[in-house]
Amino acid sequence: MPQLDFANPLMISKLVWLLIIFGLLYFVLKNYALPRVASVLDERAARIAADLNAARDAQAAGEAALAELRAATAAARGEAQAAVAAAMAEANAQAARQAEAINQRLNAQVAEAEGRVRAARDAAMASINGVANDTAKALLDKLNVRADDAAVAAAVNAAAGGRG
């Protein structure tokens, strides 16, 4: 190959310049270009790590907030159930008080009605002797029998067993 003819005196100078240019390029890349690229890569990796940490922190905060929300919901549900139970107990107690008041009022009305019935019965029983006397007199008058009022009353009283 003619490009690699080392017998040619220009080939040695080409190789020297090649080594000088590659050495200079290596020196520039190593000291200036690659450290900047490395710092950019390190900075990017650090920013990604910081973003991942922030995302983890946000996820943990979100999970904590969700747990707190669930706990608050459970507490509110418990309070609501307690309030409903208290309202039901109060309503039942009020209904029992109203039922007791109605029962007392009805018992008073029943007692009053029984008293009126007793009074009417006693009045009827008291007037039964008078009705029996009148009936006995009317029957005796129909039969054309004359009797003394005192004797009729005594006979009716004896027949009734002395109730009047």
Query: What is the distance between the alpha carbons of residues 114 and 56, in angstroms, rounded to a whole number?
Result: 85
Q: Exposed/middle/buried for 136, CB within 10 Å: 0-12, 13-18, 19+? A: middle
pLDDT confidence tier of residue 9, bands split at 50, 70 and 90: confident
pLDDT tens readout for residues 59-106:
999 999 999 999 999 999 999 999 999 999 999 999 999 999 999 999
How far are the Cα atoms of 68, 81, 91 from residue 78, in angstroms, in the given order? 15, 5, 20
- Residues with Cβ within 8 Å of 153's Cβ and at least 6 positions away in sequence, in order, are 129, 133
Of 18, 36, 17, the closest CA to residue 28 belongs to 36
pLDDT tens readout for residues 31-45:
999 999 999 999 999
Q: What is the 3-state secondary structure (H, E, C) of 53-71?
A: HHHHHHHHHHHHHHHHHHH
Residues composing the chain: 164
